[in-house]
């Protein structure tokens, strides 16, 4: 039997985690001087309250080596192998720490997802599906290495305040974007975040245009699965996105998930992305 574990940043739903017996390792969320564990001691709604209403500072921190060792010590004796999928190594030291911890175990393998949120979630879910089929660890890892460069991860941000507070854009940039009603799209390319197209207008209109831009007349899409991942957007907004996806592409599965504390900390409420796999590497 193969056990799949992942960093909490993969943003898979509780239902999927339970169905495929996936264990998450929570990252740390630091609110002023208080340390919380992502999804255990704190939720995105707590973050929005602390930052948006109470004006506290918020940042995330990586899982340390000891924490990974503790998890491996618990699960590795129970399984033939453990495959851990980490947050992209360019976003955090999680991969490095998980890799160092795994050196003490003969049956623990660590995979760098080169992504975040359900960009990593695609990798985790593929691994879990193959593990459930009884595939060998080497075959699972080879498949993951093949699909990682094909994951198309992007999202649109409604408010720039959280990026500004996290030091990822200047106050002038945030003010200008707010004044002009600019909603930037953020893309993950080669394991790094970059600013993509900038949309202008109300969020719902921007997000529908974003879906059209990603999917319309795109012949490089793997239609097996698409995630709609968002930080507590309204049901009406999510429904508009779902309808737009169905208009421009025919995915076998459309899976809605809620973004966890990492995306919420850096991007704030009303952030939404569609994340899918391509047929070829970008």
What is residue 176's predicted lDDT score, i.e. its pLDDT? 38
> Which residues have C-beta within 8 Å of that of residue 221, sequence separation ≥ 6?
215, 249, 276, 277, 278, 279
Q: With 90 as the cut, is the pLDDT of residue 282 above it?
A: no
Q: Using one digit for the tens of pLDDT, what is the confidence trace for 16-42?
A: 999 999 999 999 999 888 999 999 999
Domains of the chain: 2-27+62-148 (3.40.50.10170), 153-278 (3.30.1180.10)
Residues 141, 4 contacting (CB under 8 angstroms) = no
pLDDT digits (tens, 9 = 90+) for 95-143: 999 999 999 999 999 999 999 999 999 999 999 999 999 999 999 999 9
Contacts with 69 (C-beta within 8 Å, 6 or more apart), sequence order: 101, 104
**pLDDT tens string 168-226:** 443 334 333 444 467 889 899 999 988 889 998 899 999 999 999 999 999 999 999 99
Mean pLDDT of 252-261: 96
What mean pLDDT, rounded, does the chain reach? 91
Residues 6+ apart with CB under 8 A from 133: none
DSSP-derived secondary structure letter, 52: I
SS3 35: strand
CB atoms within 10 A of CB 53: 8
Using the predicted structure, report yes or no on whether residue 4 has a pLDDT greater than 70. Answer: yes
Q: Tell me how far CA of residue 165 lies from CA of 52, 58, 88, 171, 267, in angstroms.
A: 11, 8, 22, 9, 10
CA angle 52, 86, 77 (to 5 degrees): 125
List Cβ neighbours of 30 (8 Å cut-off, separation of 6 or more). 36, 58, 59, 60, 61
Q: What angle do CA 52, 58, 60 make, to 5 degrees?
A: 140
pTM of the model: 0.92
Lowest mean pLDDT among 7-11, 18-22, 160-164, 257-261: 160-164
């Amino acid at each position: 039997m193969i056990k799949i574990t992942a960093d909490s940043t993969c943003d898979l739903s509780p239902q999927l985690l339970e169905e495929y017996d996936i264990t998450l390792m929570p990252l740390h969320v630091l609110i002023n001087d208080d340390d919380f564990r992502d999804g255990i001691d704190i939720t995105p709604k707590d973050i929005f309250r602390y930052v948006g209403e109470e004006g506290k500072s918020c940042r995330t921190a990586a899982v340390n080596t000891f924490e990974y060792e503790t998890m491996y010590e618990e699960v590795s004796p129970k399984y033939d192998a453990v495959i851990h999928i980490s947050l992209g190594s360019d976003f955090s030291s999680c991969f490095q720490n998980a890799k160092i911890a795994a050196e003490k175990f003969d049956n623990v393998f660590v995979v760098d997802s080169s992504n975040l949120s359900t960009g990593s979630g695609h990798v985790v879910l593929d691994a879990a599906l193959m593990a459930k089929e009884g595939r060998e660890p080497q075959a699972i890892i080879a498949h993951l290495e093949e699909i990682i460069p094909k994951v198309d991860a992007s999202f649109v941000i409604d408010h720039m305040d959280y990026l500004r507070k996290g030091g990822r854009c200047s106050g002038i940039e945030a003010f200008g974007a707010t004044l002009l009603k600019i909603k930037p799209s953020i893309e993950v390319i080669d394991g790094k975040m970059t600013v993509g197209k900038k949309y202008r207008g109300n969020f719902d209109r921007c997000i529908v245009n974003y879906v059209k831009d990603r999917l319309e007349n795109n012949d490089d899409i793997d239609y097996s699965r698409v995630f709609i991942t968002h930080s507590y957007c309204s049901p009406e907004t999510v429904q508009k996105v779902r309808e737009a996806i169905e208009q421009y592409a025919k995915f076998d599965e459309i899976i809605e998930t809620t973004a966890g504390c990492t995306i919420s900390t850096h991007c704030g409420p009303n952030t939404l992305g569609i994340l899918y796999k391509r047929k070829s590497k970008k």
